[in-house]
């Protein structure tokens, strides 16, 4: 997410400072107009120093992986929950505006299709709970200290630049297997599991709208508004590559076999219009991945025993 947003901001002429715990040489080349500041968001002093002169903060950093949150929930909470608290404190002291990127996983198992922002939240595993904790912290700082902040709840993001060590979402993983001539490994029921896959360019547009017009303390869904089953995703990959994908289905893991699609009306009210179709988005990612990209490194689990069973 970060590298795509940074490119857009820098090419619009903004002075951008990338704050990340990883050393600069692991972040890829920064565009002209972008600078690097190292900080670990788990450390309040480092976070405050890094944001001291900011005018607008997009808080995207954290653990994005549900599987990592199952294996190491403390890392997940320290990064996502405590890290977001530290960002809120720094934003309060700096007086700048904040946009926090949360996740549709906070909704838990949906009871409505499409799902709007007033749907109940019900995290069912650590990642979703830590992201929701971040949301509540942002809202509490808006109410208590009057910070200027709004929240985006992203559905399933895909696009160029994903790191296979940390990215566990379907589009990137499926393409990496298929482009290497390997079967696509599917977790859950291919027909009953549907998702809202949203290209990173649309997420960037949505984040910019939330920064400019989002109401303080409010949450905005960031999705495509299109529902796609895993079977339809596999078929779309076959269409775009011209080769029918092989698949291996693990339907023993059913925790996230459900329908999930965003109602994006609220963000549309700020001017949002998702523009990238699944087919053109897939072609975009394929053009960045090349013929034999690195294979996915994350599995999909919801309980530690599922990994032991798979092993
Ligand atoms: N990828 C998705 O489908 C998706 C969906 C919904 C929400 N999100 C959210 O979007 C955000 C970005 O996700 P991504 O897919 O770009 O992940 P990513 O792993 O590519 O990027 C996260 C960045 O945060 C940095 N980071 C991690 N811990 C840090 C710390 N303690 N201090 C400073 N920096 C730290 C990492 O080094 C990395 O550069 C996350 O907050 C994630 O929860 C992602």
- The string of DSSP letters for 125-192 reads SHHHHHHHHHHHHHHHHHHHH--EEEEEEE-EEE-TT--TTT---HHHHHHHHHHTTPPEEEES-TTT
Residue nearest to atom 12 of ligand 1 (CA): 60
Longest dimension (CA), the chain: 56
Express each pLDDT in 126-141 by its tens digit.
999 999 999 999 999 9
What's the pLDDT at 310?
46
Distance 242 CA to ligand 1 centre (A): 32
Cα angle 92-155-61, degrees, rounded to a multiple of 5: 40
pLDDT band at 28 (very low <50, low <70, confident <90, very high): confident
pLDDT given for residue 211 in this prediction: 98
- Whether the CB-CB separation of 289 and 281 falls below 8 Å is answered with no
Q: How far apart are CA 13 and CA 172, in angstroms?
A: 30
d(CA 216, CA 86): 18
Tell me which of 3.40.50.720, 3.30.2090.10, 3.90.1150.10, 1.10.150.120 is the CATH number of domain 2-301: 3.40.50.720
Split at pLDDT 50, 70, 90, the class of 309 is: low
Cα 228 to ligand 1 centre (Å): 24
Q: In angstroms, what is the span from residue 239 Cα to ligand 1's centroid?
A: 30
In sequence order, which residues have a C-beta less than 8 Å from that of residue 303 and are 6 or more positions away?
70
Residue range 170-229, pLDDT digits in tens = 999 999 999 999 999 999 999 999 999 999 999 999 999 999 999 999 999 999 999 999
Q: Is 22 in the pocket of ligand 1 (CB under 6 A)?
A: yes
Cβ of residue 105 lying under 6 Å from some atom of ligand 1? no
Ligand 1 centre and the CA of 172: distance in Å?
15
* Ligand 1 site, residue 62, Cβ cutoff 6 A: yes
User: What per-residue confidence (pLDDT) applies to 307?
Assistant: 79
Q: Assess whether pLDDT exceeds 90 at residue 143.
A: yes
The reply to whether ligand 1 has any atom less than 6 angstroms from the CB of 40 is yes
**Beta carbon of 6 within 6 Å of any ligand 1 atom:** no
Q: Is 88:57 a contact under the CB 8 Å cutoff?
A: no
Q: Nearest-CA neighbor of 14 among 158, 147, 159, 212?
A: 212
Residues 6+ apart with CB under 8 A from 26: none
Statement: residue 147 has pLDDT above 60: yes
**pLDDT, tens digit, for every residue of 29-67?**
999 989 999 999 999 999 999 999 999 999 999 999 999
Helix (H, G, I), strand (E, B) or coil at 284: helix
User: Both tokens of residue 251?
Assistant: 């339907």
Atom of ligand 1 nearest to the CA of 42: 31
User: In terms of Cα–Cα distance, which of 210, 211, 157 is closest to 16?
Assistant: 211
Specify the residue with its C-alpha closest to ligand 1, atom 29: 62
Cβ–ligand 1 contact at 157 (below 6 Å): yes
| pTM of structure | 0.97
Q: Which residues contact 274 (CB under 8 A, 6 or more apart)?
A: 198, 199, 202, 205, 206, 223, 224, 225, 264
309 Cα–ligand 1 center, Å: 28
The structure tokens 């900080």 sit at: 39
Q: Which tens digit of pLDDT belongs to each residue from 225-263?
A: 999 999 999 999 999 999 999 999 999 999 999 999 999
User: Is there a contact between 264 and 223 (Cβ–Cβ < 8 Å)?
Assistant: yes
Q: Name the closest-CA residue to atom 24, ligand 1.
A: 61
Q: Comparing C-alpha atoms, which of 45, 44, 84 is closest to residue 61? A: 84
Interval between CA 101 and ligand 1 midpoint (Å): 9
Q: What span, in angstroms and rounded, lies between the C-alpha atoms of 211 and 265?
A: 17
The tens digit of pLDDT for each residue in 73-105 reads: 999 999 999 999 999 999 999 999 999 999 999
């Amino acid at each position: 997410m970060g590298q795509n947003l940074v490119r857009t901001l820098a090419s619009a002429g903004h002075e951008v400072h990338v704050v990340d715990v990883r050393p600069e040489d692991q972040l890829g080349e920064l565009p002209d107009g972008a600078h690097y500041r190292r900080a670990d968001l788990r450390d309040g002093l480092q976070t405050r120093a890094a944001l001291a002169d900011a005018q607008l903060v997009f808080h995207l950093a954290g653990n994005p992986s549900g599987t990592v949150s199952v294996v190491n929930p403390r890392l997940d909470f320290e990064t996502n929950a405590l890290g977001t608290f530290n960002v809120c404190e720094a934003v309060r002291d700096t007086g700048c505006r904040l946009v926090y990127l949360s996740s549709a996983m906070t909704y838990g198992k949906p009871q409505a299709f499409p799902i709007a922002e007033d749907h109940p939240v019900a995290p069912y595993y650590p990642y979703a709970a830590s992201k929701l904790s971040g949301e509540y912290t942002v809202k509490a700082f808006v109410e208590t200290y009057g910070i200027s902040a709004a929240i985006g709840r992203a559905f399933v993001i895909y696009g160029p630049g994903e790191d296979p060590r940390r990215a566990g979402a379907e589009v990137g993983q499926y393409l990496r297997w298929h482009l290497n001539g390997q079967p696509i490994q599917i977790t859950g029921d291919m027909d009953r599991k549907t998702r809202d896959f949203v290209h990173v360019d649309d997420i960037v547009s949505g984040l910019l709208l939330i920064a400019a017009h989002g109401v303080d303390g409010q949450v905005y869904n960031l999705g495509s508004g299109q529902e796609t089953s895993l079977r339809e995703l596999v078929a779309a990959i076959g269409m775009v590559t011209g080769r029918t994908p092989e698949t291996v289905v693990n339907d023993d893991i059913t925790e996230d076999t459900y329908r999930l699609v965003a109602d994006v009306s609220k963000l549309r009210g700020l001017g949002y219009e998702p523009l990238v179709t699944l087919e053109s988005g897939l072609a975009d990612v394929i053009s960045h991945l090349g013929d034999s990209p690195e294979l996915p490194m994350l599995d999909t689990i919801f309980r530690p025993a599922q990994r032991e069973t798979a092993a």
